[in-house]
Amino acid sequence: MSASGAIVSVEEVTKIYQQGKVEVPALRGLDLEVGPGELTALYGPSGSGKTTLLNLVGALDRPTSGRVSIEGRELGTLSRRALSRLRRDRIGFVFQAYNLIPVLTAYENAETVMALQGVDAQARRQKIGELFAEMGLSGLEDRRPDELSGGQQQRVAIARAIAADPAVVLADEPTANVDSETSDRLLGMMEQLNRERRVTFIFSTHDPRVMERARRLVRIVDGRVDGDERRD
């Protein structure tokens, strides 16, 4: 963890994309720290830089300038192999499109990260069994993604994201592809995981229901933090 106690630290970060001969700035000197156990929602207009910020924090992309650190480790100083290990071990991802592997069962999808970490099969079974029970997925272990509803697929994706006890879970519009009832159930589940397991979540969202439940709201406008409200 960093000297400030932050899980995530973003310092004076810019990100510029090249579109032909035109430079398009996505982030403009953005600063942000997220501490352990926070439930933070990034919101703002489309194109404001929310997804770009998540991609940088998730080590899926590199900033044009500035520093991004996870638990005090500056991502720009890490080798490709070290970045891969950090993504595997310390960052959980929940994507809009679920990103489940079609040929694997719900259980096999959920255990993927733990299997890559070399966790033994018995420990994986126990952990995934506990998570599936908490998430209302018991009995669905052998179903493939196309045999699950959208909400069930998203719950499997969340189980996969948190199974390996990451430092932070990044969720890009996690309620975008589910109905209102399923959205409320997913949000309640993530709130419970945050409260009981102290899982740190950072969402990007346009959904007012996500913003209502977040304990911290960070508004991003034109690639900068335009507002930061805590509701502890």
pLDDT in tens, the chain (232 residues): 555 689 999 999 999 999 888 999 999 999 999 999 999 999 999 899 999 999 999 999 999 999 999 999 999 999 999 999 999 999 999 887 788 999 999 999 999 999 999 999 999 999 999 989 988 899 999 999 999 998 899 889 989 998 888 989 999 888 877 778 877 887 888 888 888 888 899 999 988 888 998 999 999 999 999 999 998 6
Q: What is the DSSP letter of 16?
A: E
Task: Name the pairing type of β-strands 8-19 and 65-70.
Answer: antiparallel
DSSP-derived 3-state class of residue 164: coil
pLDDT of residue 209: 86
State both tokens at 144.
Answer: 């493939």
Domains and CATH numbers, the chain: 36-62+81-230 (3.40.50.300)
Q: Which residues contact 73 (CB under 8 A, 6 or more apart)?
A: 86
Q: Model pTM?
A: 0.88
Q: Which residue has the tokens 């990100």?
A: 15
Distances (CA, A) of 212 to 132, 158, 195, 196, 215: 26, 20, 16, 19, 8
Task: Look at residue 198 in the predicted model and tell me its pLDDT.
Answer: 85
In this prediction, residue 5 carries a pLDDT of 85
C-alpha 87/C-alpha 227 separation (Å) is 28
The pLDDT of residue 134: 83
